[in-house]
Amino acid sequence: MKYRTMGTDPATRLKVSVLALGAMLFGSRTDEKTSFAVLDRYVEAGGNFIDTSDNYAFWEDGGQGGQSEELLGRWRRSRGIGDEIVIATKLGARPLAPGTGYADNAEGLSAKVIRESAERSRERLGTDRLDLLYAHIEDRTVPLRETVEGFAALVAEGTVGLLGVSNHAVWRVERARALAAAAGLPGYEVLQYEHTYLRPRTDVPGGLFPDGSLGGADAQLLDHLRAEPDLTLVAYSPLLKGAYTRPDKPLPTEYDHPGTPARLGVLKDVARETGATPNQVVLAWQIGGPLPVVPLTGTSSVAQLEENLAAVDLELTGEQRARLDAAR
């Protein structure tokens, strides 16, 4: 396994594996035995960066979520897992009532919610401190200053380490970071957005932002990452839920545009040259690229995990990477 460091403060920065494991469906669609087997193999391979959220997976049973955190808590206790494993979680998108969703009834990002939701997550995970805590989705009903101060208070108390943000407009991320810096408070240092090799359209409505755009790492966000070297991008859905390799998994509609066939063609060429799968090439492209990107993959079997783990040691040549980058 290979590792990278996230964060700048010695008191909160984290050394994490370059491949993160998503636990979104653990404890719900993925049963406990399989979930434990995947987690055990990931740790055995040197992985130490596991991702979840307080609302996973509310859509599976019409509830409010919490199944994934609860399973990770049981796994930690049964295996004697301590601080050696970094578990990141999120808050802000948990439905306030069963049968609703984050679009119309989310818990939000008030100081009160941040404190209470973080406490519930610590209880479910069985830990006194959350290594990395994200603001999951935007809450424009609450002043940004209140959200910034709410997260910072938990860091000051020692119940939260590093702070992150997911699925926010870039201007709001930077405004929140500026507010934190001006007040001498810890701010967001980890960004979690959907990011893959294919480039999505940015004009498809129905996304996560109030203007209807998608929660993806677009050109603006990647440019922001280049300008702020202290930030790290955790890239969720890098493999598009199997769409690169499975005929029964069509590409999402936002990737239906003239530039996609060219990039898919180069991806397949490089996979053939390296003897790797397209999935492995996508992950290696992210891991070895110039920007600090940690791909986050969700797996439902040990076999899927093994394929992803092999990408850590896949070294693309400069020429292969240049062809992948240049495809339009």
- Both structure tokens of 279: 């999935």
**What percent of the chain clears pLDDT 70, i.e. is strictly above it?**
97
pLDDT in tens, 105-143: 899 999 999 999 999 999 999 999 999 999 999 999 999
**Helix, strand, coil percentages in the chain from 3-state DSSP, rounded to 5:** 40, 15, 40
Give the chain's mean pLDDT.
94
* Res. 208 pLDDT band, cuts 50 70 90: low
> What domains are there in the chain, each with its CATH number?
3-252+278-317 (3.20.20.100)
Residue 36 backbone dihedrals phi, psi, to 5 degrees: -65, -40
Query: Cα(28)–Cα(49) distance, rounded to whole angstroms?
Result: 20
Active-site residue, 56 included: yes
31 burial (CB, 10 Å; 0-12 / 13-18 / 19+) is middle
Tokens of 9: 């403060």
How do 14-17 and 3-6 pair as beta strands?
antiparallel
C-beta neighbour count of 46 within 10 angstroms:
14
What phi and psi, each to the nearest 5 degrees, are found at residue 165? -140, 145
**Tokens of residue 116, six digits:** 């209470």
DSSP assignment, residue 162?
E
For the chain, the residue count is 328
- Cα(327)–Cα(156) distance, rounded to whole angstroms? 46
Q: Do residues 18 and 286 touch, judged by C-beta distance below 8 A?
A: no
Which residue of the set 3, 42, 56, 188 is catalytic?
56
What phi-psi label fits residue 198: left (phi over 0), alpha (psi between -120 and 50 degrees) or beta? beta
Q: What average pLDDT does the segment 246-255 reach? A: 91
Which residue stretches of the chain are H helix? Answer: 32-44, 58-61, 67-79, 102-105, 111-125, 144-157, 170-182, 219-227, 260-274, 278-287, 302-310, 318-326
- pLDDT digits over 104-113, tens only? 789 999 999 9
Backbone phi, then psi, for 57, in 5-degree steps? Answer: -125, 90
Phi, psi of 135 (to 5 degrees): -80, 110
The CA distance from 15 to 287, in Å, is 15
Q: Can you give the pLDDT at residue 201?
A: 85
Question: How far apart are alpha carbons 7 and 86 in whole angstroms?
Answer: 13
pLDDT classification of 211: cutoffs 50, 70, 90:
low
- The residue whose two tokens read 């370059």 is 18
What does the pLDDT read at residue 69? 98
pTM, 2 dp: 0.96
More confident call, 313 vs 105: 313
- 194 sits in which H/E element: strand 190-194
